[in-house]
Amino acid sequence: MKSTTNTISKSQRGAALPVALILLGVLLMSVLVGSQSAVIQQRLTGNFRDSSIAFQAAESAARWSAAWLQSRGHSALSRPFPCSASCDSTSRVWAVGNYPADPAPTDALWSSARTYGTDPTDDSSLSMTVAGVHSQPRFIMEQQRFLRDDLAGDPQKGVAFYRITSKGIGSRSQSEVVVTAVLAKRFE
């Protein structure tokens, strides 16, 4: 009688080792691709978080300046008169046509912009800060237009339109967001 062990071993030629090595290589490649994908996903998430922080900072500065404009009262005498050159007057509101039309001002203009939490009439009154940002957000207010109620009446009564442009920076200096808002306010 013939032994079956001899016939089985003669027909096998050692294919298990190459097949196992190929499968191990495929498994290794999928692990490397998966880990690289996880690193990219982590970077994307960090960038999204940082841009969200920058947006929230810019939004805070826009709201702060809008609240300042609203707090000026509604009498014609409380209307902040815009400045025309370097905006060194007490109002810190740019006059129509004296501020660049580009909603993303240059670095030189941002350096002269108001800082979040400061009263535009007093630079030293820093009362609020935004936490977790590289630098505090800044804002620029511009009077876009003033529409008088009528031509025969008081020239100080009407509706003033202001453009508020604010810049927020996230936790890293590379994340910058610029927000522009328009505010209409009636003066009686």
pLDDT at 89 over 50: no
Residue 175 lies in domain: 16-187
Residue 5 lies in a domain: no
Whether residue 105 lies inside any domain: the answer is yes
Query: Could you tell me the pLDDT band of residue 88, with boundaries at 50, 70 and 90?
Result: very low
pLDDT at 26: 93
In a domain, 133, yes or no: yes
Task: Domain count for the chain, please give it.
Answer: 1
Q: Which residues pair with 166 in a beta bridge?
A: 139, 179
In a domain, 42, yes or no: yes
Collapsed DSSP state (helix, strand, coil) of residue 18: helix
| Inter-CA distances, 79 with 38, 47, 49, Å | 55, 41, 39
Q: Tally Cβ neighbours within 10 Å of residue 77.
A: 8
Q: Give dist(CA 58, CA 181) in Å, integer.
A: 11
Residue 2, in any domain of the structure: no
Q: What is the pLDDT of residue 131?
A: 83
- CB–CB of 183/164 below 8 Å? yes
Res 159: pLDDT = 87
pTM over 0.75: no
Does residue 90 lie within any of the structural domains?
Answer: yes
Q: What is the pLDDT of residues 20-64, one digit of tens each?
A: 999 999 999 999 988 998 999 999 999 999 999 999 999 998 998
Determine whether 13 is exposed, middle or buried from the number of CB atoms within 10 Å of its CB (0-12, 13-18, 19+). Answer: exposed
Q: Which stretches of 84-153 are assigned E, i.e. beta strand?
A: 93-94, 114-115, 138-148
Tell me whether residue 11 is in a domain: no
